[in-house]
Amino acid sequence: GTLITATRPTAAEVADAPLTMQNALTYARLKEQLLSEPDVLRCDVMDSRYHVTARSCNMDEFKHSVLTWATQVREAGFKLSSVADAARPKIAGELRSSL
């Protein structure tokens, strides 16, 4: 077996292996980089004025950010639905009175 880390095996170390194995090891090494490097992903933050602050993060922080974003989108969808339901009768009334 081959021990795969974020930096090994190098391309030179697997140069004599079949191409499919080289590709698999490269993929695995890059995956390890994603899992282990502290600043490889983006976890940008947007404030209430829609100003985005860029922030780098690791895999665990990224997972947390994605879950937070999904929750925020879900809550915004519920709020939008509620506002739309409340506005629907008012819009219908305005349309009737304008005709």
Tell me, yes or no, whether 17 lies in a domain: no
Is the pLDDT score of 13 beyond 80? yes
Tell me, yes or no, whether 81 lies in a domain: yes
- What residue numbers bound the domain in which 87 lies? 37-98
Tell me, yes or no, whether 56 lies in a domain: yes
User: Total domain count for the chain?
Assistant: 1
Tell me, yes or no, whether 8 lies in a domain: no
Which of 33, 21, 92, 95 is CA-nearest to residue 58?
Answer: 33
pLDDT in tens, 28-84: 999 998 888 888 899 999 999 999 999 999 989 999 999 999 999 999 999 999 999
The Cα 68–Cα 6 span in angstroms is 28
Tell me, yes or no, whether 27 lies in a domain: no
> Model-level pTM greater than 0.75?
no
The Cα 33–Cα 6 span in angstroms is 4
Query: Which conformational region is residue 50 in: left (phi greater than 0), alpha (psi within -120 to 50 degrees), or beta?
Result: left
